[in-house]
């Protein structure tokens, strides 16, 4: 289906996607990435320092206690020896045995040695007390320094937390309320969901160009030009082509081609659609011309044909008439979309949009080339694993959405939007979730 255009505001962001690996990261984003490491190191310092200080003080007190205990044990030993010497002296006074004289002399030497040891222990004890006092002073100084450092760390963490909150608030504000992109031309056309979605995603395209296959009179080409993209539009039906050129000729970046697009170059007949249902007087039958006629159940007839030149996208890219890589490829050929994709060769894009008709729809035909399953298989083979299906039932215009499931409600129609890059797919899914209702599978 050709995307319609008109006077409307549609949402689009004003900045590049921060997660896109193909773009340089901003200073704010690099700062954001550095915050977890900074916060972790600061928290680790906060956790370690009290433990280290407590351990040092506890160890120092334990060592002092053990040293005092050893000195006390030595003093007790000296007292016991002194008592023994006194006892031996009394025994010596009561006896005149020469052996006792020798024992007394030996004990006297021991007493002198013990006195020397006692003096050394007393000196050692005083030195230890002085050293402990000095160590405690140093510990208190270190504790004061660490307290100051912890205060600095706490202030840094508060500042980092404030900066982080402000940065996240800025990001949330930006993505929650993107600034509008305004379509310039007014008219009676309705702005479709597809047009609004592609316009929203246009700032994030790696290539600022679009290929519009089945352009009709510019319902999709116009808003893509308004988004700043170069547009290569293809319309084979002469009256529609003339209106397309009249409408958009002179716009910067607009390139019109009176060609049909298929799987290979050649000549073919375009089947001219005519409205047969008199209850639909406003229906523009020119929207439904196709290289592959389909049933329309008394709504349309295809009684006339017109020979047209057919080119493949591969051929056009090889001859440098279109870019080999585009931002967007939109295909709307009324039942011939798969053949266009098969003729792409190495031609590719960030986004590819194609139409589908589900079984039960008035235009559905098992022989058509726009059924969901074959389109999904072909696009996955081409490196487009992600997709969103925008489905409509009956006369609905907004429709519903779901992703990465080759399903649509019976008799529905709509478009499949394929993506190469996960970042672009994620943003499209976010937009759909805030704009559309999800598709609910029916039994």
Q: Which residues contact 6 (CB under 8 A, 6 or more apart)?
A: 183, 185, 186, 187, 188, 189, 190, 191
Question: What are the boundaries of each domain within the chain?
Answer: 29-176, 192-438
Q: Return the pLDDT at 165.
A: 74
Residue 202: what pLDDT?
95
- What does the pLDDT read at residue 277? 66
Q: Which residues of 374-397 are buried (b: 16+ CB within 10 A; e: fewer)?
A: bbbebbeebebebbbbbbbbeeee
Candidates 284, 1, 238, 322; CA nearest to 246 is 238
Helical spans, DSSP H, in 184-336: 193-201, 221-226, 238-248, 313-318
Tell me, what's the pLDDT at 54? 61
Measured CA distances, 309 to 268, 274, 303, 339 (Å):
7, 22, 20, 15
pLDDT of amino acid 97? 60
Strands across the sheet containing 254-257: 254-257, 230-234, 209-213, 325-331, 348-357, 413-419, 386-392, 400-403, 437-438
To which CATH superfamily is domain 192-438 assigned? Vaccinia Virus protein VP39 (3.40.50.150)
User: Which parts of the chain have pLDDT scores under 70?
Assistant: 1-61, 63-64, 67-68, 71, 74-75, 78-79, 81-118, 120-122, 124-126, 128-129, 133, 136, 168-190, 277-283, 297, 395-397, 442-443
Contact by Cβ (8 Å): 385, 410:
no
Q: What is the pLDDT of residue 294?
A: 77
Question: Tokens 């790696």 appear where?
Answer: 206
């Amino acid at each position: 289906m050709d995307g319609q255009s008109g006077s409307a505001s549609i949402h689009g962001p004003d900045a590049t996607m921060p997660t896109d690996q193909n773009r340089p990261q901003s200073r704010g984003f690099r700062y954001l990435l550095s915050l977890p490491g900074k916060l972790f190191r600061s928290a680790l310092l906060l956790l370690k320092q009290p433990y280290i200080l407590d351990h040092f003080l506890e160890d120092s007190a334990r060592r002092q206690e053990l040293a005092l205990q050893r000195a006390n044990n030595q003093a007790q030993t000296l007292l016991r020896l002194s008592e023994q010497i006194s006892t031996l002296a009394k025994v010596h006074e009561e006896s005149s045995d020469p052996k006792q004289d020798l024992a007394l002399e030996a004990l006297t030497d021991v007493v002198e040695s013990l006195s020397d040891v006692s003096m050394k222990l007393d000196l050692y004890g005083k030195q230890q007390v002085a050293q402990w006092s000095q160590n405690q002073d140093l510990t208190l100084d270190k504790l004061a320094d660490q307290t100051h450092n912890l205060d600095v760390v706490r202030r840094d963490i508060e500042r980092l937390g404030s900066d982080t909150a402000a940065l996240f608030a800025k990001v949330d504000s930006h993505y929650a309320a993107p600034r509008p992109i305004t379509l310039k031309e007014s008219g009676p056309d309705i702005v479709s969901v597809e047009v609004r979605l592609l316009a929203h995603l246009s700032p994030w395209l790696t290539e600022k160009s679009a290929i519009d296959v089945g352009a009709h009179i510019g319902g999709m080409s116009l808003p893509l030009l308004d988004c700043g993209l170069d547009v290569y539009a293809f319309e084979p039906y002469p009256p529609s082509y003339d209106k397309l050129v009249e409408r958009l000729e002179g716009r910067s970046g607009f390139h019109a081609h009176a060609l049909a697009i298929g799987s290979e170059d050649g000549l073919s007949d375009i089947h001219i659609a005519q409205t047969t249902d008199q209850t639909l007087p406003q229906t523009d039958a020119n929207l439904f011309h196709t290289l592959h006629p389909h049933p329309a159940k008394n709504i349309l007839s295809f009684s006339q044909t017109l020979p047209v030149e057919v080119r493949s996208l591969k051929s056009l890219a090889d001859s440098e008439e279109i870019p080999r890589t585009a931002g967007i490829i939109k295909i709307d050929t009324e039942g011939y979309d798969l053949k266009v994709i098969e003729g792409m060769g190495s031609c590719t894009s960030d986004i590819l949009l194609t139409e589908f008709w589900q079984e039960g729809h008035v235009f559905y035909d098992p022989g058509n080339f726009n059924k969901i399953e074959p389109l999904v298989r072909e696009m996955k083979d081409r490196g487009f694993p992600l997709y969103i299906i925008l489905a409509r039932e009956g006369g609905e215009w907004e429709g519903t959405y779901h992703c990465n499931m080759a399903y649509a409600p019976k008799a529905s129609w709509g478009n499949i939007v394929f993506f190469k890059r996960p970042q672009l797919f994620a943003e499209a899914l976010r937009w759909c979730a805030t704009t559309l209702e999800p598709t609910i599978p029916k039994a």
